[in-house]
Structure 1
Amino acid sequence: MHSEILQPIVVLVGWTMVMWAYMVATRLPAMKAAGIDLSKVSGSKPGQLDAILPPKAQWPAHNYMHLMEQPTVFYASALVLAVAGVGNGINAWIAWAYVAFRIVHSIVQVTSNKISIRFVLFVLSSLTLIAQVLHAAIAVFH
């Protein structure tokens, strides 16, 4: 039998790929409209396109970067729980809550990008992640 916590891991990985595809589908047309010829561009600095492209075209890129940051702690702690044999029950539910908050956060960021809503979702996802990390620590240090 596999650990239930592997399911939300796979869902968040899949969601990250959905956001990658959305980022590409949004940014490439915006870059073309801005007159950026990718065959003539070499090197760039993070955030450089923020000054060139419309904000709404950049929001998916910002969200994709966010999905590369804090979720790394989610993946590590979820895998610890799975390997420790305690990735079912409450730990799986905490992981699902984290994934749900991150998906809703993504949707808000790439549509309205309302900071007040994003902040609440970030705090809620962070609290679930803290709970997950604590449970992982208990599992390996108990």
Structure 2
Amino acid sequence: MISSPLIPPLLAMIALTAGVWVAMVVQRLGAQKKLGLPIDAFASRASTSAAFGPYEKAANHYMNLFEAPVLFYVLVAVSLATGIVTPLTVTLAWVFVGFRVAHALIHCSYNNVSHRGATFLLGALVLWINWAQFGWALLSSGG
């Protein structure tokens, strides 16, 4: 069994993704019922977006959780595989998750683009810093 302080932030990201998925399903099914749309409204991404418009906040964020966060998942996997898990790695992982939670809350609710953009950029910066410190630790270890 893998025991690492990186597992809790990893599980937190997975929980966030699951929570946004639930919100997406609830929003879409509620909108489908409210708008009286047929199941064919989900035929493609374009038709879904056109039919559901403002009810697509969670769906749009769900897709976003498979963009930059993929680099987070890779970093966790590579850190665990190499055994390079420092307190800084863990701290930055939690900070990244915190920014992703804030980003999700903004995106799925009032969706202020300035606020959302700031949380996205800060989270991405934290992720890149985490990658840089991991790379430095890996190179310094001779790995």
Question: Same fold, TM exceeding 0.5?
Answer: yes
Q: Which structure features the higher share of helix residues?
A: 2
Q: Give a deviation string over 1:42-70, Cα, whole Å, max 9, x none.
A: 87332322222241x10000011111111
Which stretches of structure 1, 4 residues or more, deviate above 6 A after TM superposition? none
1:120 alignment counterpart: 118
Q: Give a deviation string over 1:60-83, Cα, whole Å, max 9, x none.
A: 000111111110100001221222
1:29 alignment counterpart: 30
Of stretches 103-112 and 127-136 in structure 1, the one that deviates more from structure 2 is 127-136
2:8 alignment counterpart: 7
Equivalent residue runs for 1:1-142 within 5 Å: 2-38=3-39, 41=40, 44-55=43-54, 57-142=55-140
Unaligned 5+ runs, structure 2: none
| Aligned partner of residue 98 in structure 2, secondary structure | helix
Unaligned 5+ runs, structure 1: none
Q: Give a deviation string over 1:77-125, Cα, whole Å, max 9, x none.
A: 1221222223241110000000000001000011100000001001100
TM-score (norm 2): 0.88
Change (3 A) 1:42 1:107: closer
Instruction: Please tell me the residue identity of whatever aligns with 1:10.
Output: L
Q: Using the alignment, how far apart are the partners of 1:109 and 1:76 within structure 2?
A: 24
Instruction: Please tell me the residue identity of whatever aligns with 2:90.
Output: A
Q: Using the alignment, how far apart are the partners of 1:32 and 1:109 within structure 2?
A: 23
Instruction: Please tell me the residue identity of whatever aligns with 2:47.
Output: Q
Instruction: Please tell me the residue identity of whatever aligns with 1:50.
Output: S
Q: Using the alignment, how far apart are the partners of 1:18 and 1:42 within structure 2?
A: 23
Identity score, percent: 27
Change (3 A) 1:43 1:54: closer
Instruction: Please tell me the residue identity of whatever aligns with 1:136.
Output: F
Q: Using the alignment, how far apart are the partners of 2:134 and 2:88 within structure 1?
A: 12
Is 1:97–1:128's contact at 8 Å kept on the other side of the alignment? yes
Greater RCO (Cα-Cα under 8 Å, separation 6 or more):
1
Distance apart, 1:36 and its partner CA: 2.1
Is 2:41–2:51's contact at 8 Å kept on the other side of the alignment? no
